[in-house]
């Protein structure tokens, strides 16, 4: 739709189809440009869309307005495995209704203030903010473990090499 909006959105292979506004809320309808997705079982590419149901994903606010992305949730069919699978989105974790950058921002805000405070600012319930915080915390632990394993397999000598990764969050 609009080159500038696509650039601001900053997700690869995704374009903003339309933009609408309600009281202090912005809705961006996205269009996924990749026609093929690789099957999680056999990794072969499939372009056969079985279902396409849009979902709302909350993203970082634009100019102080609560922002939602209308994202096509595409289910593909793999002929080789004879199974249906849902496309993995590059910008949101599986089963989450927030972008990764939104969840990261919530995580950092909670660390600086409190769940109650962030809950008020973002207009989300305590439980939701806590849920995002816990999810991010778990993701970060996983990433740390992965980094440590990678480092260990590179056989780096001396414990000091691990320090920056241990204290990065
Ligand atoms: Zn397959």
User: Who wins on pLDDT, 33 or 153?
Assistant: 33
Tell me, yes or no, whether 89 and 110 share the same domain: no
The two beta strands, 65-78 and 49-62, are antiparallel
Q: Is residue 19 within 8 Å of residue 27, measured between CB atoms?
A: yes
In degrees, rounded to 5, the angle at the alpha carbon of residue 21 between the alpha carbons of residues 17 and 22 is: 145
Query: pLDDT band at residue 166, thresholds of 50, 70 and 90?
Result: low
Ligand 1: centre distance to CA 165 (Å) = 36
- For residue 45 the two structure tokens come to 């590419």
Tell me, yes or no, whether 68 and 12 share the same domain: yes
Q: Is residue 166 part of a domain?
A: no
Ligand 1: centre distance to CA 139 (Å) = 27
Ligand 1: centre distance to CA 34 (Å) = 18
Tell me, yes or no, whether 102 and 91 share the same domain: no
Q: Rounded CA gap, 101 and 20, in Å? A: 22
Ligand 1: centre distance to CA 45 (Å) = 8
Ligand 1: centre distance to CA 26 (Å) = 37
Tell me, yes or no, whether 81 and 109 share the same domain: no
Tell me, yes or no, whether 82 and 112 share the same domain: no
How far, rounded to the nearest angstrom, does the alpha carbon of residue 147 sit from its chain's CA centroid? 20
Tell me, yes or no, whether 8 and 88 share the same domain: yes
- Whether 169 shows a pLDDT value over 70: the answer reads no
Domain boundary, last residue among 97, 113, 129: 97
pTM reported for the whole predicted model: 0.83
Q: Which residues surround ligand 1, an ion (CB under 5 A)?
A: 39, 41-42, 78, 80-81
Q: What is the pLDDT of residues 38-77, one digit of tens each?
A: 999 999 999 999 989 999 999 999 999 999 999 999 999 9
Mean residue pLDDT of the chain comes to 91
Q: Is residue 89 part of a domain?
A: yes
Ligand 1: centre distance to CA 97 (Å) = 26
Ligand 1: centre distance to CA 39 (Å) = 5
The pLDDT value given to residue 152: 87
Ligand 1: centre distance to CA 36 (Å) = 13
Ligand 1: centre distance to CA 83 (Å) = 7
- For residue 32 the two structure tokens come to 């996924």
């Amino acid at each position: 739709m609009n080159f500038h909006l696509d650039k601001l959105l900053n997700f690869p292979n995704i374009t903003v189809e339309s933009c609408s506004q309600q009281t202090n809320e912005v809705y961006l309808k996205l269009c996924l440009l990749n026609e093929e997705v690789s099957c999680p079982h056999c990794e072969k590419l499939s372009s056969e869309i079985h279902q396409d149901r849009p979902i709302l994903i909350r993203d970082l606010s634009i100019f102080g307005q609560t922002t939602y992305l209308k994202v096509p949730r595409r289910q593909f069919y793999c002929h080789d495995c004879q199974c249906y699978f849902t496309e993995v989105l590059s910008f949101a974790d599986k089963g989450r209704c927030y972008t990764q950058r939104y969840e990261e921002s919530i995580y950092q805000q909670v660390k600086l203030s409190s769940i109650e405070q962030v809950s008020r600012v973002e207009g989300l319930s305590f439980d939701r903010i806590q849920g995002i915080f816990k999810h991010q915390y778990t993701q970060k632990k996983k990433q740390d473990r992965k980094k440590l394993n990678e480092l260990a397999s590179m056989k780096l000598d001396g414990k000091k090499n691990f320090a920056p990764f241990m204290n990065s969050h």
